[in-house]
Structures are given as structure tokens and as C-alpha cells.
Structure 1
Amino acid sequence: MLKLLLFFNVIRLCLYSVDSYKILGIFPVPSISHQIVFQPIWKELSLRGHEVTVITPNPLNDKSLVNLTEIDVSFSYKIFIESNLQESITKDVPVNGVVDFIFTLMLNIIEAQLKHPEVQALIQDKDKHFDLVMVEFLNPAVYAFSARFQCPLIGMTSLGALLGGHDAVGNPSHPLLHSDFFLPSTGELSFFDRVYNTMYTIWYRYNYYYNVLPHHDKLVKKYIGDDLPYLGDIERNVSMLFINENSIFHSIKPNVPAVIELSNMHIKKKKPLPKDLQNELDTATEGVVYFSLGSNVRSANLSEHLREQIIGALSEVPYKIIWKWEDDYLPGQPKNVIIRPWLPQQDILGHPNIKVFVTQGGQQSAEEAIYYGVPLVGMPFFGDQFLITEKIANLGIAHVVNPETLTKQQLKAAIVEVAENSKYREKAKEMSALSLDMPLTGLEKAIWWTEYVIRHKGARHLRSPVLNIPWYQYVLLDVIGFILLVCLIVTFVLYKIILLGIKGRQKYSRHIKLKVS
């Protein structure tokens, strides 16, 4: 079978690949929800005949991909787990605290990965050459690899881009229209929302450019080379930015040509389910609720109170429950609840008996639900989950509950409402048709533009000219200042003229009076 796969891959390379390039990918975040977005890209590039090297905590380990070399940094998961992300960036933590926590965590992870012997061997290999470096555009230190190998850089995101990413290509990021995904506000903003968003963007940029970037720059000087340009300059030399955004639940942005929006990157062809799950779903004529809080929120780590409310609600709904529960034992497990530490989510959502998907609101989970036309109950905990769940609720395909104040009655009512009210499923089917009606898939766009950047040794011509002017000119401070100065001068001159006129009239009046007397 392996020989047959290799044979077909060779045939595919002959048909689709004209030029073979050397590509380095660095995707350091130890979270499968990030990695599954990028994996199809490095797999497809390998299949097209390019020599691909990837630094990742989730290697594919696919022996049929003969052009793929993976450097396994899965040890990073230990750092990620020990950070206790689930409790460290809850809704009670201010947004700036969440941002600081994530950047500090990623700095620790990147340092551990840069120390890794295989990574150091790659960095120190003077004969190594790459035509392109692709990185997750979240951790500035990894941008330095493009300067180390003197080749173009493509940034990629598994979510929307942070403000620094938009700035790097000169993309508009208005605080009221296109706010950062850490901010849980969507739709029409109140006056205080607008004030908060504006102050946040000012704080974020100050913190990023005067705190985060200098710390990452010191790190790359230590582990990659002290002869590298400043990291902020490397960042602004990025050729293109691939953003994993879905127009269904992300706001429309006036992107510059260097920003390519991708979506549904991780959606795979439906595969047969394991026999036990297939049987459970096939026999559930009453319907099934699929319950999963993703990879970064572990159901097994929920507080005892929240767990009891969820179990109470699930035990009373008239459906079978399939719950992604990461431990072998669920205290008080109801008879209608089936637990598994891992589940093939996309294949489960594709089953016709799934009535509701209870989710934390991760982007990939929301995309999968929309793809299969499954309505949702959102239970957001942190990050962009608040934004995503609010958006899908506004679309009419979900009902949102607050895990901090959740009662079993609220969750039960939400599940029954979404399962029994046909408007949710009808709207989900409508959104599914809309999201699939695209001229090219996200993967096809990513591959075409990747090879475009390599062919032209960069894509600086697609970046915004705003990168070449100072920020004060971009926000028209000099123009506004000049206009105000002109207005002030004209006002002053008019004032003096009027004043002189008044004084002249007074002198004339006195002169007339003296003459009469």
C-alpha cells in the first residue's frame, strides 16, 4: 500500500509541479487548533514537489510525503499545559492582562524551541538554503528565520491577525470597525465601547513595539545571530499575510493585496466513523447532542459547580449525548451520556442525527459546524471565543450561554430550543451554502500565492504605501495642524483688522465731536 501511495505521489508531482523550491515552515504554537490550519499547506506543498522543512509540535509523520522533513518540538506542550491557560485568561482577567500572558507564554515556548538541538543544527548549517520562510504570524522571534536564510517571508494566522500583523503590511485596522479579536465587542458599539477599543489599540501598539518586540529581538540575537537586523524591521519586510478568517463570522475589511483571506483550511473529506460511534449515532433516532470544548478548554478541568450544572442539564434533555471528556471517569455520568477522550469531530458533525453542537466557540469548531449545517450552543471561556459565539448567535445559528453564571435550567433550555426550533438548522444550512460558494478553496489560494511569492522573490509591490510614511502623516496630524495654524492666523489677522477698524472708527468719532464742539 505504501509503495502504491508513493507511486501516485510521484505521478502527481510530474503533473502539477514545474519548479521545485526549498521552503521552511515554523509553526510553534503547541495547540492542535492552530496546527490543523497549517498542516494542509505544508502537506500540499510537499506533494507538489517542493522540499519542505517544518518546525512543529504536531508532525504529520506521514512516510508517503517523501519531500517533507519535520522537526518535532512536541515537548512544548508541557510548557503550554503547565501555564494553566484555561484559568489564567478567563473573562475576569483584563484584556491587557490576557495579551501580556500570551506573549510571555509564547516567549518561553519559543526560547525552548530555539534551544532544541535539531533547531540549532538547522540555524547553524551554513550550507542550508531556503527560497521561502513561512511562519505563524503571532510570535515575532520566528520572523528572524527569513533574515537568517535571506529569503522572502510569508506570515500566516490560524485566527484573525493581531494589530502588529496588520501594521506589518499597512493594512487598515480601525479600532471601531475592525477591532482586535481579543476584544469581545461586535456589531454596533456604544460610546464607551468605542473609547475602550481606541484606548486598547493605543496601549497594544505601545506595548508591542516597546516591550514585546525588544524582548523577542534579544532572544533571536542570542539563539540565531547577533548580526541580524532589528526584529521590527524584519517583521515589516513580510511579503504577504495569510489570514484564516471566514466572511461568515468575521467583519468585512478593506484588505490590501498583500493580505489573503483563507477559510475552511482544515476541513477534510468525511471518513467512516469507528464502528462503536457509528452504531451509537445510527441508533439515536431521538437525536444526538455533540459536546466538546475544543483543545484548549478541557472539560475535565471545569469547576465542580459548572460540571454539575452541565451534567444536570444533559441528564434531562431527551437526546443522546456524545461528550469529549478527557478523563476515563466522569463523576455522576448520566445514562444518556457517552464520553471519549478524543473524538473525530468533523465526521461526527457530518452525521444526520446530530441535532446540536455545544462548543466553546473556537473558530475551527464554528467553521466545521457551519460546513455541515449544524446549529450550535456557544459556551465561550476566553479569547476570540466571545467574538465568535456572539457573531454566530447574531447570524441566527446559535444560542449563547455564560459558563460563569450557567445553571442547568439555562443550558437545558438552550439545547432544547436549538434542537427543536427548525429556524436554527435552516439558518445553519443557509450559512453552509454561502460559505461553500467560493471560486477557490482556502488551500488552493494559499498554494498559488505561496508559489507566486517564491517566483518573484517577494511581493513588496503588493504592500500598502502607508508603510513608507510616518504614522503622524498617516493620521493627518501634520495636515490637521497646518489647517488649524492657517485658521488661527486668518482668525488673528481678521481680529486685528476688525480691532483696527473699531479703533479707527472711535478716533474718527472723537475727531468729529471735537470739531463740532
Structure 2
Amino acid sequence: MKILYHITVLLQALCLGNSLKILVVFPLPGPSHFILGNSLARGLVEAGHEVTIVSPFEDKNPPKNGRYTSVKLEGAKEAIESTNENINMFDLVNVNPFTFIPFMNFMGNVITNTTLTNANFKKLINSDQKFDVVVIEQFKNDALRVLACHYQAPLVIISSMGANSWVNSLVGNPAPPSYIPDLYLSYTRNMNLWQRSVNLLMYLTKEISHRFFFTPAQNELAKKHFPKCVDENGPIANVSLLLLNSHESIDDPVPYVPNMVNIGGYHVNPPKSLPKDLQEFCDNATDGVIYFSMGSNLKPSDMNQESKQALLSALGKLKQKVLWKWDEDHLPGKPENVKIGKWFPQQDILAHPNVKLFITHGGLLSTTETIYHGVPILAIPVFGDQKMNAAKAVAAGYGLSLSINELSEENLSNSINELLNNSKYRDNAKRRSAIMHDRKVKPMDLATYWIEFVVRHKGAPHLRVAALDLTWYQYFLVDIVLLVGAVVASLMLASYLILKKLCCSKKPSRKMKKN
């Protein structure tokens, strides 16, 4: 029935002439980002559109209908890795969050320049190919917005996370730092006075850094490669639509302007049968299975020896079986109840009814998938948004969190036993799962509809808020505050001078008495 449905949709699109040519650009050399980009591209192809995706990765099993084209950014992944070759990612857990600001600016400029100078990318933009709409992942790559001007097409931005400081300004979305924590911080929406102070400082620091350092560098990159599409304000491009990899079941409720749409979970597929060895492993786990993965960027073998030993000792004492995503062929000291693998079908494993707990780094895709399947988590966050995701899981009651610096056999055992034996965590995970599933429209269908919408309505300028036409001092009413201050000061000065004159004029004259 599903195949018949997709065939029907495709035929309708072709017959009605509604098939669009869509350019999808996901330049970040991270596997999780490619999962999001490729899921979007495949979904748009299934809806009957012709898609060209630009990424450092390629789909090993692309759609065979001729409507999917891959432009691989050869060498992009290696270029980024060369800048980080001496960095142990686990050391980032101790880095001050403010340090991430210049680091991400640097990485953003490297990624953007690598994309714009890539031979395959230049071949694409120098061809006579046309696109009806351009979809770009926003991740510190502002210069790529010139592609909308280059192709004279509406611009759709997709955020690989929820609303944040990188995208809010593109559509004029308000984000009060009083209750919306920055993604670099491990805060929830219930911040105390100190946390709100730090959050405000982070907000101001990022704004100053972005405005005076990052934006000029990105504008120069855009001007170098697309001089006709850059003016004094930067790339000539209006964002028609902002798609967010977010959902109410995962993130806190925050303000959204009309052209912001939540499509979190669109990459999650219906569960498939596991490979035979994994199926038997999970089926035969009478006491349950614990799945352990630190994502696609962190290498668990890079953990210090103390952390690895604590994990081995704590996991080895469990009666549950453990699937551990491990990046090497062998794990010294591996307990008998642990099965390792360099790759596991994560979504399908989490869907298995015997999986009782997910030990994770707290990445957003992993968080989304565990909520989708209703599995509680033990988060061991390291960097980026992982700490904030972990804090949200604790606040929502479907998980616990441990710093990599706090890993000990005792702490791990206590946390794992609490999660396994206290039903509230699984109940809360199931409750969140019910919220994620309770949708009138599937997230991929929603993304498709809105992309088609902005094309039908010539960029949908009617959704654009007036905040985008204001300068920063107008937006924050600084000019009005100064005007009112000047008027009040003038009135006070005038009152003072008048009173002074009146008082002086009423002073009795002193006459000398004559003897």
C-alpha cells in the first residue's frame, strides 16, 4: 500500500506539472548532518520532485528513478579533519562554553570556503542548471545564502536543531534570554538569577562576535565567488521559510514567527527487521537490552582509561545484555554480556521491545529517536548542544545525566539501576513518545507542503515579519528610550532653571538700617 501511495503521488505530480527542481545543500562533513539532508532529499523525491543534493557524503543506495542527483564535496571531510587532527573530542567537555564562539566561527569559515572552492560545486554553479527553490542547512555558513540570488529562487533554511541564535535573526524571531537558554549552555528554561546572567552574557557575546567578526568574513567569501549577489548588507537573499529539526516533545515551547515550521523526527523511519545476529541477541535477552552509542563524531576508544574501566566494570555487573557501538575491532576487557560493533541500525534497535535503556552522548538525532520509540536515556554529554539536550531529558523526567568527568563504577551503576528499576523514567519516555506521534500531518509531508507553498507563492513574502526591516536600535526601541530620556532630561533642566529664577527673584532685598 505504501508503494502504491508513492506511485500515485508521483504520477499526480507529473501529470499536474507540479514537479519542482530543488537544490539541497548540506555542507557540514558530519554523518548525522548527512542523515538529515539525505532524508529530506529522499522525501522530496518520493513526493515527485527532482532533487540535487550537495554534501561531503553520498547515499550508498540512492533512489533509482533518476530524480535524485548527488554532488559530492570531494575532500571536504578530510579538510575539516585536518584542522581537528590533534583534538581529542572528549577533552571538549572541559572547555569553557564561551570558547566555542570563536572556534565555531573559525570552523564555519573553513566549511564555507571549502564548499565554495570545491571543484564539483563550482561545476554545478557554472552549469546552466536551474532550480525552483534552494534549501540550505544553516550551520555557520551564511555566505551560501547567495545561492538563492544566483538561481533567482526562493530560499529555504533548515536548522539541524531547534530555534537558536544562528537562525532567529534570519526571520526576525524573538528569543528572550530570560527563559531561552543558549545551545552552548547546559541550562533549561527554568534559570536562576546567575544562569540568566550568564545566558545574557552569552547572548551579547555571540551577537557582537557574529556582527563584527563572523559576518564580515562570510560576506567577503560570498562576494569573492558571487560578486553580483552581494551588497553592503551581505548576501542578497530573503529567507522564505525556516524548517526546524525540532518538536514540542523534545524542545521547550518558544516563540515562532509564521514562516518557522517544526519538522523534528522527519528522518525517523518505520522500524525494520534487525540483522539475524542482532535479532537473536535482542530476542534472547530475557532481562532486557541496553544500547550504548556515543554517536558518529565521538570515538569511544579516545576516552581515558579510567572512564573506559568504569564503563566495563559497571556494564559487566549487569544481568542485561549490552550492545556497545565501539570504533575498533577489539575491546580489551569486554564482559561476556557485551556485544560490540562499529555500526548498529540504531533506530531499529531502539524499536525492539526488549531495549530498556539507551546510554547516549545526548546528540539531537539520538534524542529524537529515543523519544520516538519511548526509551529512557542515560546521557553522557561532551560538547555542543549535547549538554543542553541532556539537561532537558533530566528536567522532563525521561533520563539522567553524568559528566564524562564523573564516570565511576559506582556512579554508573547507581544511575543505570535507577533508570532500570524506577518506572517513572520509562513512563515519561512513553508519554513524550505519544506526543511526538500525535500529529495530524507527518513531519516529512509537512516539510514538503511548506517548500511547495513558498514556491507557489513566489517566496511567500506575506509571511515575512516587519522586524527584518528594523535596525537593532529600532528593534530594541533604543531610539525611543533615548528620545524619551532626552525629553525628560530637557523638562527637568527647564524646570530647574525656572524654579531657580523664581526663587532668586523672590529673595527679599536687604536694606541697611540707619542708626
1:487 is matched with 488
- Match of 1:151, SS? coil
- Match of 1:160, SS? coil
Task: Check whether the contact 1:164–1:205 (CA below 8 A) recurs between aligned residues.
Answer: no
Alpha-carbon spacing, 1:304–1:504, altered in 2? closer, same or farther (3 Å):
same
What is the CA–CA distance in structure 1 between the aligned matches of 2:332 and 2:19, rounded to whole Å? 55
Confirm or deny that 1:14 pairs with 2:11.
Answer: yes
1:308-323 → structure 2 map (5 Å cutoff): 308-323=309-324
1:389 is matched with 390
| Superposed displacement of residue 486, structure 1 | 2.0
Which deviates more, 108-117 or 422-431?
108-117
Confirm or deny that 1:38 pairs with 2:47.
Answer: no
1:32-77 deviation digits (Å, cap 9, x = unpaired): 2222223232112222332211101232242424211111226333
- Match of 1:323, SS? strand
What is the CA–CA distance in structure 1 between the aligned matches of 2:399 and 2:90, rounded to whole Å? 27
Task: Check whether the contact 1:23–1:132 (CA below 8 A) recurs between aligned residues.
Answer: yes
Alpha-carbon spacing, 1:504–1:8, altered in 2? closer, same or farther (3 Å):
closer
2:412 is matched with 411
1:161-217 deviation digits (Å, cap 9, x = unpaired): 442421111111222222331222223323332222222222212222222222223
What is the CA–CA distance in structure 2 between the aligned matches of 1:366 and 1:8, rounded to whole Å? 30
What is the CA–CA distance in structure 1 between the aligned matches of 2:11 and 2:481, rounded to whole Å? 59
| Superposed displacement of residue 372, structure 1 | 1.1
| Superposed displacement of residue 112, structure 1 | 2.9
2:89 aligned to which of 50, 70, 87: 87
2:279 is matched with 278
Which deviates more, 21-30 or 63-72?
63-72
Alpha-carbon spacing, 1:11–1:443, altered in 2? closer, same or farther (3 Å):
closer
Which deviates more, 264-273 or 427-436?
427-436
- Match of 1:358, SS? strand
Which deviates more, 439-448 or 89-98?
89-98
| Superposed displacement of residue 266, structure 1 | 1.2
Task: Check whether the contact 1:135–1:155 (CA below 8 A) recurs between aligned residues.
Answer: yes
What is the CA–CA distance in structure 2 between the aligned matches of 1:516 and 1:22, rounded to whole Å? 108
What is the CA–CA distance in structure 2 between the aligned matches of 1:365 and 1:403, rounded to whole Å? 18
Confirm or deny that 1:472 pairs with 2:479.
Answer: no
1:179 aligned to which of 178, 181, 193: 181
2:145 is matched with 143
What is the CA–CA distance in structure 2 between the aligned matches of 1:300 and 1:215, rounded to whole Å? 36
What is the CA–CA distance in structure 2 between the aligned matches of 1:421 and 1:354, rounded to whole Å? 15
1:190 aligned to which of 186, 189, 192: 192
- Match of 1:255, SS? coil
Alpha-carbon spacing, 1:492–1:14, altered in 2? closer, same or farther (3 Å):
same
1:345-364 → structure 2 map (5 Å cutoff): 345-364=346-365
Task: Check whether the contact 1:373–1:432 (CA below 8 A) recurs between aligned residues.
Answer: yes
What is the CA–CA distance in structure 2 between the aligned matches of 1:308 and 1:380, rounded to whole Å? 18
1:168 is matched with 170
Supply the AA of the counterpart residue of 1:79.
Answer: A
1:118-152 deviation digits (Å, cap 9, x = unpaired): 21111112x22111111001212321211221211
2:22 is matched with 23
1:411-455 deviation digits (Å, cap 9, x = unpaired): 111011101111111111111112211222221211011001111
Alpha-carbon spacing, 1:164–1:337, altered in 2? closer, same or farther (3 Å):
closer
Confirm or deny that 1:376 pairs with 2:350.
Answer: no
Alpha-carbon spacing, 1:478–1:102, altered in 2? closer, same or farther (3 Å):
closer
- Match of 1:33, SS? helix
2:99 is matched with 97
Task: Check whether the contact 1:143–1:231 (CA below 8 A) recurs between aligned residues.
Answer: no
Task: Check whether the contact 1:13–1:48 (CA below 8 A) recurs between aligned residues.
Answer: yes
2:120 aligned to which of 106, 118, 126: 118
Confirm or deny that 1:158 pairs with 2:155.
Answer: no
Supply the AA of the counterpart residue of 1:345.
Answer: Q
TM-score by length of 2: 0.92
Task: Check whether the contact 1:144–1:231 (CA below 8 A) recurs between aligned residues.
Answer: no
What is the CA–CA distance in structure 2 between the aligned matches of 1:74 and 1:315, rounded to whole Å? 42
Alpha-carbon spacing, 1:184–1:261, altered in 2? closer, same or farther (3 Å):
same
TM-score by length of 1: 0.92
1:431 is matched with 432
Alpha-carbon spacing, 1:516–1:201, altered in 2? closer, same or farther (3 Å):
farther
1:220 is matched with 222
Confirm or deny that 1:51 pairs with 2:53.
Answer: no
Q: Which runs of 5+ in 2 are unaligned?
A: none
Supply the AA of the counterpart residue of 2:245.
Answer: N
What is the CA–CA distance in structure 2 between the aligned matches of 1:469 and 1:515, rounded to whole Å? 71
What is the CA–CA distance in structure 2 between the aligned matches of 1:304 and 1:109, rounded to whole Å? 33
- Match of 1:330, SS? coil
Which deviates more, 324-333 or 233-242?
233-242
Task: Check whether the contact 1:168–1:235 (CA below 8 A) recurs between aligned residues.
Answer: no
Which deviates more, 73-82 or 397-406?
73-82
1:67 is matched with 67
Confirm or deny that 1:294 pairs with 2:275.
Answer: no
Task: Check whether the contact 2:146–2:226 (CA below 8 A) recurs between aligned residues.
Answer: no
1:211 is matched with 213
Alpha-carbon spacing, 1:353–1:259, altered in 2? closer, same or farther (3 Å):
same
Supply the AA of the counterpart residue of 2:205.
Answer: W
- Match of 1:248, SS? coil
What is the CA–CA distance in structure 2 between the aligned matches of 1:457 and 1:198, rounded to whole Å? 37
Alpha-carbon spacing, 1:467–1:80, altered in 2? closer, same or farther (3 Å):
same
What is the CA–CA distance in structure 2 between the aligned matches of 1:229 and 1:58, rounded to whole Å? 29
| Superposed displacement of residue 235, structure 1 | 6.7
1:337-396 deviation digits (Å, cap 9, x = unpaired): 110100011111111111111011111111111111111111110111111101111111
What is the CA–CA distance in structure 1 between the aligned matches of 2:369 and 2:514, rounded to whole Å? 98
Determine what percentage of the aligned residue pairs are the same residue: 32
| Superposed displacement of residue 10, structure 1 | 5.2
What is the CA–CA distance in structure 1 between the aligned matches of 2:392 and 2:175, rounded to whole Å? 19
Supply the AA of the counterpart residue of 2:280.
Answer: N
| Superposed displacement of residue 410, structure 1 | 0.2
What is the CA–CA distance in structure 2 between the aligned matches of 1:515 and 1:372, rounded to whole Å? 103
Alpha-carbon spacing, 1:505–1:404, altered in 2? closer, same or farther (3 Å):
same
- Match of 1:90, SS? helix
RMSD: 2.4
What is the CA–CA distance in structure 2 between the aligned matches of 1:104 and 1:270, rounded to whole Å? 39
- Match of 2:441, SS? coil
What is the CA–CA distance in structure 2 between the aligned matches of 1:285 and 1:231, rounded to whole Å? 66
The size of the alignment, in residue pairs, is: 508
- Match of 1:91, SS? helix
What is the CA–CA distance in structure 2 between the aligned matches of 1:146 and 1:165, rounded to whole Å? 16
